[in-house]
């Protein structure tokens, strides 16, 4: 017998057995169960570890609560009737700052400060359409915050010293026009800045606030250089995640006096560092996080390793992420999850060596009814290795399944291994869900990301196409029942795929997707104009590369789309042109293309987005069911 055939026989036998197994009935879980709003979220510990704060949903609104950990009593400290808290943090043991939604302005927030018992609430910012960001989340001299704001000039962010007692703002550093980010040290002193000429980025440094900034190092934007913190022992040392002169990111030290990398704290030729945890109390890094198909910690401190080992014992079978801690690092807020479990929040007490559950992320979801997210790999037509995930529906033979291809938002993002409500919802409806990290996705190194530049309508689409063909050849996908759907950049990819890969998809959907690259570039806000040339390098130049930009923009190709289309959009979204989307829908309907058009009042990702999510996914379920039913 042929050796190769002999080796394949067990595999073929298993496939035959699986195909002969009767399929069990799967409970159809209500749409609303998958997309519930969090009852409690944004847990945070006061610096002294005596109070625990959180945001709680009350009907259509959110409010801020504080629990006294000694007595167990909880007090509501905000009393909103309409608007929601977008973000908040402790600035001292007695005060919190929160960002509240600004009426009619999705991108903007009003900023308030309030005592931990709900007294003495006052507004810190009310600058019309300007933006403000707190640079260091702690009070300086018991009354100042260092903030960046574009209130002087909408295109640049200056730095101000904000007096939280009287609301007065004094300029601490004026932006010469090219600074895109500012950084402080642990004490709140303004020490670093990053400038851009559109393509190259320069790190600027000063040892003391009364000194002038000096240029340290300049890198092309294609290289990652992300400052994390400034050494407290050596003020000229900056810690950063960097892939300068290497393909994969590493954790490094930069000597600002010498203007070069002085030490590598962690690197690996096959692993990409995506994050690192610095302990302020111990004044050293605890671990780095690398990501392949799953995030993995590599410890730089034995105490940190012991901490997570203890968490693994207390919370077995889950992934643990520390999301907050007190200054002494005795109390931690921990978030757990798996690919089939949305997870829970816990309070971990180091001294007592125990955990207390705070709340479940989504208590109605049962892990036993969810589906495993499996890593997969295939080769693109040019030989590049593409990785992703395949989630198969429960109790279905993994042969000739209807498939929903789910390209990620981005483009510089990636799919990750986690609980994904959208994926689980689609799998529960009987679809195999295929996610791939096409070239241009983050997490696989500098060369892989750069391979996606100016390929939005080219090789990125080829990667998607090749991935679907691979899934068909593997026997998993029914070639007559394949759909593609995405949000944001994923929605753009979905629409683009409908005309660049004719005959492959029976339908496609876009949620808040870009349809015109020219309009997308025009929508870039003024404060990002220093990066405009970088966007041209990644997307394309609307002046010199007109033909490519038109070819890659779905709005110009309504005449080539032959299958049903689902489009959802928020007319108030500043990143999309609602008029163009409506005209695009009209052009499709003129040609008798079936279109499901859903207008969203606001983003489904906003705190009050539960109703929007319910309508969106109910409509999407009907659309997919109608078009993938085999009629």
Task: Write out pLDDT tens, residues 338-350.
Answer: 999 999 999 999 9
pLDDT of residue 85: 86
Alpha-carbon distance 352 to 99, whole Å?
Answer: 34
pLDDT of residue 3: 39
pLDDT of residue 532: 87
Backbone angles phi, psi at 226, to 5 degrees: -120, 100
Token representation of residue 526? 């003024």
Q: Residue 551's closest CA among 465, 454, 466?
A: 454
Q: Average pLDDT, stretch 85-114?
A: 82
Residues 6+ apart with CB under 8 A from 500: 457, 461, 465
| Least trusted range by pLDDT, from 116-130, 202-216, 405-419 | 116-130
Task: Write out pLDDT tens, residues 200-256.
Answer: 999 999 999 999 999 999 999 999 999 999 998 899 999 999 999 999 999 999 999
Alpha-carbon distance 391 to 448, whole Å?
Answer: 24
Alpha-carbon distance 550 to 474, whole Å?
Answer: 35
How confident is the prediction for the chain on average, in pLDDT? 91
Q: Average pLDDT, stretch 61-90?
A: 91
Alpha-carbon distance 585 to 592, whole Å?
Answer: 11
Per-residue confidence band for 103, with pLDDT thresholds at 50, 70 and 90: low
Per-residue confidence band for 570, with pLDDT thresholds at 50, 70 and 90: confident
Place of tokens 């349809």: 515
| SS3 state of residue 343 | coil
pLDDT at 61 over 90: no
Token representation of residue 492? 């753009």
| Rg of the chain on CA atoms, in Å | 26
pLDDT of residue 11: 41
CB 208 within 8 A of CB 193: no
477-487 and 401-405 beta bridge pairing: parallel
Helix-then-strand count for the chain, H and E: 12, 35
Q: Residue 480's closest CA among 401, 561, 378?
A: 401
pLDDT of residue 17: 52
Q: Average pLDDT, stretch 110-125?
A: 91
pLDDT at 626 over 80: yes
pLDDT at 20 over 60: no
| SS3 state of residue 311 | helix
| Least trusted range by pLDDT, from 71-75, 98-102, 435-439, 563-567 | 98-102
Task: Write out pLDDT tens, residues 350-371.
Answer: 999 999 999 999 999 999 999 9
- The fraction of the chain above a pLDDT of 70, given in percent, is 93
Q: What is the SS3 assignment for 400-455? A: CEEEEECCCCCCCCCCCCCCCHHHHHHHHCCCEEEEEECCCCCCCCHHHHHCCCCC
pLDDT of residue 24: 74
pLDDT at 601 over 90: no
Backbone angles phi, psi at 61, to 5 degrees: -130, 165
pLDDT of residue 109: 72
Token representation of residue 263? 């030490």
Q: Average pLDDT, stretch 453-482?
A: 96
Place of tokens 């990652």: 224
Residues 6+ apart with CB under 8 A from 253: 231, 237, 238, 239, 240, 261, 262, 263, 264, 265
pLDDT at 14 over 50: no
Per-residue confidence band for 132, with pLDDT thresholds at 50, 70 and 90: confident
pLDDT of residue 107: 54
Q: Note the Cα 416 to chain centre separation in Å.
A: 10
Alpha-carbon distance 466 to 388, whole Å?
Answer: 13
More confident residue, 348 or 523: 348
Task: Write out pLDDT tens, residues 140-166.
Answer: 999 999 999 999 998 999 999 999 988
pLDDT at 261 over 90: yes
pLDDT of residue 15: 45
Per-residue confidence band for 128, with pLDDT thresholds at 50, 70 and 90: low
For residue 140, what is the DSSP state?
A: B
Task: Write out pLDDT tens, residues 296-333.
Answer: 999 999 999 999 999 999 999 999 999 999 999 999 99
Alpha-carbon distance 275 to 393, whole Å?
Answer: 33
pLDDT at 127 over 60: no
pLDDT of residue 607: 59
Q: For 497-548, give the DSSP string.
A: HHHHSTTT-SEEEEES----HHHHHHTS-GGGGGGHHHHHHHT--TTT-HHH
pLDDT at 177 over 80: yes
Find the Cα–Cα–Cα–Cα dihedral 613, 618, 620, 622, rounded to 10°: 180
Per-residue confidence band for 10, with pLDDT thresholds at 50, 70 and 90: very low
pLDDT at 608 over 80: no
């Amino acid at each position: 017998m042929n050796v190769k055939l002999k080796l394949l026989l067990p595999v073929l036998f298993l496939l035959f057995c699986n195909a002969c197994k009767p399929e069990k009935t799967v409970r159809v879980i209500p749409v609303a169960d998958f997309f519930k709003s969090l009852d409690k979220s944004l847990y945070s510990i006061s610096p002294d570890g005596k109070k625990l704060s959180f945001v709680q949903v009350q009907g259509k609104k959110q409010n801020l609560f504080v629990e006294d950990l000694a007595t167990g009593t909880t007090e509501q400290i905000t009393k909103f009737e309409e608007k929601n808290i977008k973000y908040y943090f402790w600035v001292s043991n007695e005060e919190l700052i929160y960002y509240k939604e600004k009426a009619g302005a999705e991108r903007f927030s009003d900023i308030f400060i309030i005592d931990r018992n709900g007294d003495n609430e006052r507004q810190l910012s009310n600058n019309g359409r300007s933006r403000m960001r707190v640079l260091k989340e702690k009070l300086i001299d018991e009354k100042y915050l260092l903030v960046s704001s574009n209130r002087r000039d909408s295109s640049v962010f200056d730095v101000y010293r904000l007096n939280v007692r009287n609301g007065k703002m004094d300029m601490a550093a004026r932006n010469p026009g090219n600074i895109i980010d500012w950084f402080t040290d642990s004490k709140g002193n303004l020490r670093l800045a990053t400038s851009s000429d559109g393509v190259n980025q320069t790190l600027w440094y000063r040892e003391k606030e009364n000194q002038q900034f000096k240029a340290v190092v300049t890198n092309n934007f294609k290289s990652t250089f992300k400052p994390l913190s400034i050494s407290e022992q050596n003020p000229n040392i900056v810690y950063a995640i960097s892939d300068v002169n290497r393909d994969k990111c590493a954790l490094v030290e930069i000597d600002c006096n010498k203007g070069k990398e002085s030490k590598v704290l962690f690197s690996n030729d096959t692993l990409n560092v995506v994050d690192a945890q610095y302990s302020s109390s111990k004044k050293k890094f605890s671990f780095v996080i690398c990501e392949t198909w799953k995030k993995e910690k590599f410890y730089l401190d034995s105490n940190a390793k012991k901490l997570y080992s203890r968490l693994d014992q207390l919370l077995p079978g889950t992934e643990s992420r520390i999301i907050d801690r007190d200054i002494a690092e005795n109390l931690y807020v921990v978030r757990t999850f798996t690919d089939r479990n949305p997870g829970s929040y816990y309070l971990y007490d180091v001294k007592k060596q125990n955990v207390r559950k705070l709340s479940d992320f989504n208590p109605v979801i049962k892990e036993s009814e969810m589906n495993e997210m499996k890593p997969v790999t295939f080769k693109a037509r040019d030989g590049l290795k593409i990785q992703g995930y395949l989630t198969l529906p429960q109790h279905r033979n993994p042969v000739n399944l209807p498939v929903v291809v789910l390209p990620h938002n981005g483009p510089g993002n990636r799919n990750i291994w986690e609980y994904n409500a959208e994926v689980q919802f689609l799998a529960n409806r009987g679809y195999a869900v295929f996610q791939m990290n096409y070239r241009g996705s983050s997490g696989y190194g500098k060369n892989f990301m750069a391979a996606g530049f100016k390929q939005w309508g080219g090789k990125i689409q080829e990667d998607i196409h090749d991935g679907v063909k691979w899934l068909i050849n593997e026997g998993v996908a029914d070639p007559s029942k394949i759909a593609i759907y995405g949000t944001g950049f994923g929605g753009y990819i979905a629409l683009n795929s409908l005309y660049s890969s004719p005959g492959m998809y029976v339908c496609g959907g876009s949620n808040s997707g870009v349809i015109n690259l020219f309009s997308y570039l025009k929508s870039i806000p003024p404060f990002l104009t220093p990066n405009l040339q970088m966007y041209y390098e990644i997307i394309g130049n609307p002046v010199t590369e007109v033909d490519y930009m038109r070819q890659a923009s779905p709005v110009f190709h309504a005449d080539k789309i032959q299958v049903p289309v689902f489009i959802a959009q928020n007319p108030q979204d500043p990143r999309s042109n609602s008029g163009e989307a409506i005209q695009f829908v009209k052009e499709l309907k003129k040609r008798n293309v079936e279109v499901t058009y859903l207008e969203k009042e606001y983003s489904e990702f906003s705190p009050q987005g539960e109703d929007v999510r319910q309508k969106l996914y109910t409509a999407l379920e009907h659309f997919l069911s109608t078009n993938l039913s085999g009629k």
